[in-house]
Amino acid sequence: MGKEGGGEEALLPLFETKEARFRGAYKVFASTVLVGICLIWVYRLTHIPRAGEQGRWAWIGTFMAELLFSLYWIFTQSCRFKVVYNYPSKERLSNRYKDKLPGVDIFVCTADPKIEPPTLVINTILSTMSYNYPPEMLSVYLSDDGGSELTYYALLEASGFSKHWIPFCKKFNVVPRSPGAFFAQQIDVQDMTYAQEWLALKIERGSHRCRSSRANCEGWSKWVSPAWAFSRATRRHGMGLLA
């Protein structure tokens, strides 16, 4: 399991082993099957056709098939009687092999802002950017084949909101990490610090959503600035964006 790390951290197991549920019920079931197999063997051995009797070769073939399948079933019970599942510890794996984690590239693809609204696309991007993974090893890309200017504007708004959302997710281990799904659920506030940051973040998200919605309703031309008007793209050329 590796020897990186020091002290007790290096000795902690990287996974937890748990036995499968309802093993007792399976043992009872397997016992009944075994009794049935034994009874079939007894029947076959007590009803052996005599030499020259009609159906003797069919009996031999049937008995050999039953014998082979029965032996196979008996041998495989060694791994079925005690079924276990190994659950890896993500936190311990991350702490022990943090320097060896590979870089990850995540591509989010969209094409039509009517079928895939910019809000849905941005929620997906913010969710992937908030993964519990070293930020220097995680890159998220947005590929907009439709070249939607509204999606581009929504991405710019999301870049400002991500500066508040990602630290909030990592600080409080937020699940789900999609802003839309997170703020749609009810919360039971116990920590005042969490409640204050949650409220401030919700207000911040509301302002970003308001600007994106206004741009969507009133048209792109009222919101685009000359500083980056050159970034407009058509459906013919497409548009690739990096988050």
Is 4 annotated as contributing to ligand binding? Answer: no
Measured between alpha carbons, how far is 210 from 222 in angstroms, rounded to an integer? Answer: 15
Nearest to 64 by CA among 52, 53, 56: 56
Is 116 annotated as contributing to ligand binding? Answer: yes
Measured between alpha carbons, how far is 194 from 192 in angstroms, rounded to an integer? Answer: 5
Full 3-state SS string of the chain: CCCCCCHHHHHCCCEEEEECCCHHHHHHHHHHHHHHHHHHHHHHHHCCCCCCCCCHHHHHHHHHHHHHHHHHHHHHCCCCCCCEEEEECHHHHHHHCHHHCCCEEEEEEECCCCCCCHHHHHHHHHHHHCCCCCHHHEEEEEEECCCCHHHHHHHHHHHHHHHHHHHHHHHHCCCCCCHHHHHHCCCCCCCHHHHHHHHHHHHHHHHHHHHHHHHHHHCHHHCCCHHHHHHCCCCCCCEEEEC
**Residues 6 or more apart in contact with residue 176 via CB below 8 angstroms:** 127, 182
What are the binding residues? 116, 145
Binding site listing for UDP-alpha-D-glucose: 116, 145
